Amino acid sequence: MFASAKSFTRNLVGAAGTLVFGGLCIAGATTPANAQIAYSVNDSGHRVAYVSYKDLDLASQAGRSTLDGRLRIASKHVCQGNGATRWEPAEEYKCFHETYKASRTATMAAIEADKVAG
């Protein structure tokens, strides 16, 4: 998927932006934990992940840990390439860390907004 530095940057910005601005779904579900992350491709062709947390007790360490695990899994999946270049592992690593950080920030902001909205 990442054929050049230019396309990698475009994919990274798109993936992180999608997670930050639209990729986090705040819809609740009562299915198993592995079904709490839904993957798709947006209109721009970027992979996105929708991560649910409504089934978690975020006041507990276990709930926060589970949410963190879901964000890690989603970030890894969004940044996963196809092995087209020998530089891809380094690009995936950078993409993962930047996307994970952005998704955590966006998730915490969404949780706080949800609390305020009540």
Q: What is the pLDDT of residues 51-65, one digit of tens each?
A: 998 899 988 899 999
In a domain? residue 47: yes
- Return the higher-pLDDT residue of 76 and 26: 76
Query: Under 8 Å CB-to-CB from 31, ≥6 apart: which residues?
Result: none
Looking at the structure of the chain, the number of domains it has is 1
Residue 11 located in a structural domain? yes
Q: Predicted confidence band at 105 (pLDDT cuts at 50, 70, 90)?
A: very high
* pLDDT of 108 over the 50 cut: yes
* pLDDT at residue number 98: 94
In the three-class reduction of DSSP (H, G, I as helix; E, B as strand; rest coil), residue 42 is classed as coil
* pLDDT, average across residues 95-113: 91
Whether the Cβ atoms of residue 71 and residue 100 lie closer than 8 Å to each other: yes
Predicted confidence at residue 86, as pLDDT, reads 84
Domain membership flag for residue 118: no
Q: For all residues of the chain together, what is the average pLDDT?
A: 76
Contacts (Cβ under 8 Å, ≥6 apart) of 3: 84, 85
31 within domain boundaries? yes
Q: What is the pLDDT of residue 13?
A: 47
Parent domain of 33: 5-113
79 and 15 Cβ atoms separated by less than 8 Å: yes
